[in-house]
Structure 1
């Protein structure tokens, strides 16, 4: 199979092309197709050799089937991403973050900023929005 075409379909396409081209021009077109096929094969072989040379020993370790774009399934990727365990903030991390925020020497905490008392309205900058 070649791109979903069976041998029968390729044969029918070849017969139709031979009838359209005619017996006078058919040998010339066949020779051109053969040269094109040879050049394409040499180009692909050279590209593979260059990639193999660039990657070195890692080239043989790559599982090329996993990189096949036909295996790309966005539903599977999203499902796997959603099933990954997200890091859960711990009490120790939260208390460390509060301790950092309480110090005014921290570059992301403005001077004079401290902890807010419940019920107190936080400052609002009308020009920032």
Structure 2
């Protein structure tokens, strides 16, 4: 959210009142060094990203990563205005693929269990939980 002129003036007046005229120049220098350091860090990160991505860097749409575009009210409004048929079709497709995946998984488990039951080299299951009296 950008700051307008009056808000900036109010901040300056508050800084003069809180810090006093003696310490204000010192804190202004610290703020300036912080801003310069933050800009330098951002430029270094951008340059490093350009070096690593090469020509693909120019193809990136940076607006899609802007967190300001994710307004929950807009997202809900768009979801409510979306035709219901599209949503129902998507859910049905997901449900169908999930059921077939579960059936296939169940079939593979049954086959595996049958193989284990018929395999004579499989160890016998241990009855009860082993308990070590000397562990305590």
Q: More helix by proportion, 1 or 2?
A: 2
1:70-106 residue CA offsets vs partner (Å, 9 max, x unmatched) = 212543368497287665x8xxxxxxxxxx9xxxxx7
Count of aligned pairs between the two proteins:
96
1:51 is aligned to 49
1:29 is aligned to 27
- Residue from 80, 87, 106 that aligns with 1:82: 87
Gaps (5+ residues) in structure 1? 90-99, 101-105, 112-129
Structure 1: how far apart are the matches of 2:49 and 2:79? 28
2:63 is aligned to 65
TM-score (norm: length of structure 2): 0.54
Which structure is higher in RCO with an 8 Å CA cutoff and minimum separation 6?
Answer: 1
SS state of the match for residue 36, structure 1? helix
Gaps (5+ residues) in structure 2? 97-103, 115-136
Distance 1:20 1:47, change over 3 A: same
